[in-house]
Structures are given as C-alpha cells and as structure tokens.
C-alpha cells in the first residue's frame, strides 16, 4: 500500500486534511477539548457534513487500512478521537435538532450540544437529561451512557435513547433499536469509544419540563477532620432527599484551606414542589458553612452557569465507589492542595444511584457504585503539563481499595488502560467483544487503550 493509496481523496467528498496542510494542526488539535493534546498524528482528519460523507469516509478507511476514530462534540478529555495513522472523522457538523411535541420525542445529530438541545426544548414543556456542561456533544455523551442532569428521576441519558441511525464498518446505513438488534443497541448505550459504528442521529424520549431550584452551600475546610464532618452531613442528606434532588460536592483548593460547594439542585413539578424538595438541605448545616445561596433557573440556565475554561489544558478521571462521603472526602484531602489551578476540582455525587426506578436492564451502561467521584485538572498550557495530566488519576488513586468501577466517558484510558474492563458490570467486556466481532470483523474502528488483543475476536489481530 502506497501513501497515495492511503491519502487519496478520490472518494472523500467531505473536507479532508492531512499532515503538511495548513489546516492540519488546527484540525488535529480540535479533536479534543483540551489545549494540551498527545502527539498522535492522524493520517487524515475528515469533517463530515452529512450521512453520505460519513459513509464515504468509513468506506475509504476500510479500503485504505486506516483505523477510524470519531469526534462528535469534542468535549472528551480522554483523547479518544486522536490516533497515530488513523482517519479521524469529525461529525460535529451533524447537529440538527428536530422536536416532535405531540409524541414527546426528538431526533438529534451527534454534534448537538447539551446547551443546544436544552435551548431548543426550553419553554416547550419538555426536557432531556442533558450533560452537565454546555459544550458536551451528544455523540460521545450518549454512547458513554450519559451521566446527565436529574438522573434520580430520568435515569442515565442513554436509557432515553429510542433508536439510533448508524453507519457500520462496511459503509452501510442502518437503524439500531431494541427490536432490530438488541445486543448491538445495548452496547451503543454505554460502550463509548468501543462501539463499532458511527452514530449519525439519535431518537430520544423526552420528559416533562421541570421547575429547577438550586441551593448552594459554600464551606471552607481546614483539613481532613472538617472534610469528614462535611461528608457525614452529606451522607445524612443523601439518605433523606428525594430522587429528584441532585447532590454534588465540588472540592477545590482555596486561598486558605479547602473550598467546598454543596450544589443541591431540585427538579420539581412546579416551583412550590421544587422548594419543598430543597427543604432538608438547611435543617442542619455543617459548622464550616460560610454562605447559603438559593436561586431559580432553567435547564439552559444550569448549563450557562457552569464555568468554561477555553484554551486550557484539561483532563479527567472518574471512579465509582460504594463508600460514603465521610470516607471519601478525607482521602482526597492530601491531593487537593496540589491541584493544577483554582479551576481544577473533584466532584463527588450521589445523584446517579438514588433513583425513583431501577436502571434499564438492557443498556451496557449502569451505575457501578453509590457515589461517582471525578477529578478534573484545568491549567494553562505549558505550565507543568506532564504533572497536571497525571493529577486526576493520581488523586483518585487514594480511592483504589474502595473503587468499584469506572465511567467510560471520563476514564483516562491512556494513563490507565486497565480501567476499560471495569467500566461495565461483569460480562460487559464479553458483550463488547461479541458485538465488535460481529459488526466490525475486519477491525475498521480503532480499538481504544485497554481493548487488548485477548479482548478482540480471536480470529483477527488487533489493529493499531
């Protein structure tokens, strides 16, 4: 195979750039939200504008021997869309939103962001468990499972996916749902970067639009003892609040000591119900409380309030645990002073397991613990990049003995590839292996770190 065979643009109607083109380096860096990215150099970066572009790119990759990686919204810090010698397929322009108010459904492209869908639904009486950040793209979010807002009432976002239009490894366009191919549809909802196909649209079930109220409890902790006391308060609160209440503690370093914000968000039937849902929060506050702030907002308002850090290096690591807040928080204390910046944080939330109904039985994704703990490093590029990239994984190392799994959407698989098999319940990796072997027998789609040769179909080798 010659370079011309690999790089020839004959069957690529979409915009494609390659090493040496002026647009190549900006396109390569845009494959991740982080301004600090690995040195991986894709052979092609292809920007698809419609389904035909996607199919043409996948067929070209199959003929040329290029492994395919996919970027949807580009919010991932795991660098899954970057791969040496790969065809990196950017589907961010597939961002149509079509809402059917009568059937309470929507169809969205993979490039649609959380804020775009929330704004499209605002005031319609309908809502969706969008991601917690405005720029989260639906392709990666839903494929990973979707730890979105109001999980206690609505479940993980992938549970509200009704069907998906997919381009397979041979370029065919199919619709996957529970009837057409239940096992592939299960892996589509939780497989993240291991799913062997390119989703070009999702059909979504929508939920009644809630009244959103928030209580923010601001605290300052001097050390591990204060964190243990705050954790005991959070454990008590988590036991009594309703499933429609999302309880998240945000930890970071402060000018003096450690800063903690308990972000408690209620999704009520109306304003009165939302206020009642928040009533338990202030009955007995920790002694380190500095301020309590109540506010009313909307689903788009929640996203607009989240801080953004453009042009910054960023990376994340996540762990599930069945330990309580009181045990988890003191373990994190030694690591918080070395956080890369004031924008870096650790989020500890019980939202995903306190549910009004059990998780859907037919999705690969499901909560693997009673708390989710996620460390986010944010910093100025060029300022101790290597140490900052390592900080989230090192921080969550304090929870190694109580970690019960990982969320594939926020696992730093380059640094800890062994975590991939722990992103799903027992038998999950076997389900992934079977679906990849059936839908992508020649390995067109790139295998992420952790999907080792022994986890690939036995009759074909791993591809780089």
Q: How many CB atoms lie within 10 A of CB 355?
A: 16
The alpha helices in 36-132, defined as continuous H runs, are: 51-64, 114-121
Average pLDDT over residues 369-396: 95
Choose one of 386, 405, 421: the last residue of a domain: 421
Question: How big is the chain, counted in residues?
Answer: 464
The rounded Cα 399 to chain-centroid distance in angstroms is 21
Indicate if 74 and 129 belong to the same structural domain.
Answer: no
Q: How many domains does the chain have?
A: 3
Stronger pLDDT, 256 or 318, i.e. the higher one: 318
Can you give the pLDDT at residue 244? 96
Question: Does the residue 115 lie in any domain?
Answer: yes
pLDDT at 454 over 90: no
Position 352 scores a pLDDT of 61
Enter the tokens of residue 235: 């454990």
Any idea what DSSP says for residue 196? S
Q: Is residue 17 part of a domain?
A: yes
Query: Could you tell me the pLDDT band of residue 3, with boundaries at 50, 70 and 90?
Result: very low
Contact call for residues 206 and 104 (beta carbons, < 8 A)? yes
Verify that 26 and 140 share a domain, yes or no.
no
81 and 160 both lie in a single domain: no
Residues 181 and 69 both lie in one domain: no
CB-based contact 139:91 (threshold 8 Å):
yes
What DSSP string describes 108-154?
E-TT-BHHHHHHHHTTTTEE----SSTT-BHHHHHHHT---TTHHHH
- Give one DSSP letter per residue of 283-310, joined into a string: SS--TTEEEEEEEEE-HHHHHHHS---T
Would you say residue 460 lies in a domain?
Answer: no
The domain that holds 38 is classified in CATH as: 3.30.43.10
Share of the chain above pLDDT 70, in %: 94
CA 310 to chain centre: 18
pLDDT at position 86 over 70: yes
pLDDT for 266 beyond 80:
yes
* 322 plus 295 within the same structural domain: yes
The CATH number of the domain where 322 resides is what?
3.40.462.20
Region 353-365: mean pLDDT is: 79
Q: Is residue 459 part of a domain?
A: no
pLDDT > 90 in the chain, percent: 83
Whose tokens are 């970067």? That residue is 193
Does the residue 442 lie in any domain?
A: no
Beta-ladder partners of 266: 213, 245
Can you tell me the distance from the alpha carbon of 152 to that of 206, in angstroms, rounded to the nearest whole number?
15
Is the confidence at residue 211, as pLDDT, over 70? yes
Does residue 7 register a pLDDT over 50?
A: no
What CATH number is associated with residue 201?
3.30.465.10
Do 148 and 254 belong together in one domain?
no
Predicted pLDDT at 10: 44
Residues 190 and 291 in one domain: no
Per-residue pLDDT reduced to its tens digit, 410-429? 999 988 999 999 999 999 99
Question: Looking at residue 107, what is its pLDDT?
Answer: 98
Q: What is the mean pLDDT of the chain?
A: 92
Helix (H, G, I), strand (E, B) or coil at 3: helix
Give residue 248's pLDDT band: very low, low, confident or very high (50, 70, 90): very high
Out of 60, 90, 120, a domain closes at 90
Cα gap 59→170, rounded to integer Å: 6
Q: Examine the domain organization and report whether 292 and 224 are in the same domain.
A: yes
Last-in-domain residue among 208, 229, 255:
208
Domain membership of residue 27 as a residue range:
3-90
pLDDT on residue 453: 54
CA count, 13 A, side-chain hemisphere, 388: 25
Residue 234 has pLDDT above 90, yes or no: yes
Beta-bridge mates of residue 45: 17, 88
137 in a structural domain: yes
In a domain, 433, yes or no: no
Does residue 458 have a pLDDT over 50? no
**463 is a domain residue:** no
Q: Are residues 407 and 298 in the same domain?
A: yes
> Quick one: 131 and 166 in the same domain?
yes
| Tens digit of each residue's pLDDT (9 = 90 or more) over 170-185 | 999 999 999 999 999 9
Distance, CA of 105 to CA of 175 (rounded, Å): 16
Cα pseudo-dihedral 18, 19, 21, 22, rounded to 10: 120
Q: Are residues 202 and 255 in the same domain?
A: no
Are 247 and 388 in the same domain? yes
Q: Quick one: pLDDT at residue 5? A: 42
């Amino acid at each position: 195979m010659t370079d011309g065979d690999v790089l020839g643009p004959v069957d690529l109607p979409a915009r494609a750039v390659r090493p040496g083109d002026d647009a190549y380096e900006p396109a390569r860096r845009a494959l991740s939200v982080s301004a600090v990215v690995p040195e991986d150099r894709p052979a092609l970066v292809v920007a698809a504008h419609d389904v035909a572009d996607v199919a043409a790119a996948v067929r070209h990759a199959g003929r040329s021997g290029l492994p395919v990686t996919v970027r949807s919204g580009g919010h991932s810090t795991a660098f899954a869309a970057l791969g040496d010698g790969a065809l990196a397929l950017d589907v961010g322009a597939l961002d149509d939103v079509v809402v059917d108010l009568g059937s309470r459904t929507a169809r969205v492209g993979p490039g649609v962001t959380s804020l775009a869908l929330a704004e499209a639904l605002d005031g319609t009486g309908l809502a969706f468990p969008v991601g917690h950040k405005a720029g989260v793209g639906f392709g990666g979010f839903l494929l990973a499972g979707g730890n979105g807002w109001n999980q206690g009432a609505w479940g993980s976002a992938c549970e509200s996916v009704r069907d998906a239009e997919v381009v397979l490894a041979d370029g065919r366009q199919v619709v996957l749902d529970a009837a057409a191919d239940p096992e592939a549809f299960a892996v589509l909802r939780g497989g993240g970067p291991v799913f062997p196909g390119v989703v070009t649209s999702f059909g979504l079930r929508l939920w009644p639009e809630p009244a959103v109220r928030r209580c923010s409890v601001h605290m300052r902790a001097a050390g591990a003892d204060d964190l243990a006391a705050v954790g005991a308060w959070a454990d008590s609160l988590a036991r009594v609040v309703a499933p429609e209440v999302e309880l998240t503690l945000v930890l970071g370093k402060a000018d003096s000591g450690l800063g903690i914000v308990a972000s408690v968000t209620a999704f009520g039937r109306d304003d009165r119900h939302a206020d009642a849902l928040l009533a338990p929060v202030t009955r007995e506050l920790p002694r380190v409380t500095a301020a309590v702030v109540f506010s009313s907002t909307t689903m788009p308002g929640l996203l607009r309030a989240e801080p953004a850090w453009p042009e910054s290096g960023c990376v994340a690591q996540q762990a599930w645990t069945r330990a309580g807040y009181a045990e988890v928080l003191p373990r994190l204390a030694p690591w918080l002073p070395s956080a890369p910046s004031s924008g870096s944080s650790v989020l500890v939330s019980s939202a995903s397991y306190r549910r009004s109904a059990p998780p859907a039985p037919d999705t690969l994704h499901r909560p693997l613990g009673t708390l989710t703990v996620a460390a986010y490093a944010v910093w100025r590029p060029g300022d101790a990049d290597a140490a900052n990239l390592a900080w989230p994984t090192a921080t969550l190392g304090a929870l190694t003995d109580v970690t019960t799994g990982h969320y594939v959407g926020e696992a730093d698989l380059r640094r800890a590839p062994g975590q991939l098999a722990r992103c799903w319940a027992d038998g999950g990796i076997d389900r992934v292996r079977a679906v990849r072997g059936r839908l992508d027998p020649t390995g067109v789609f790139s295998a992420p770190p952790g999907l080792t040769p022994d986890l690939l179909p036995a009759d074909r080798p791993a591809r780089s």
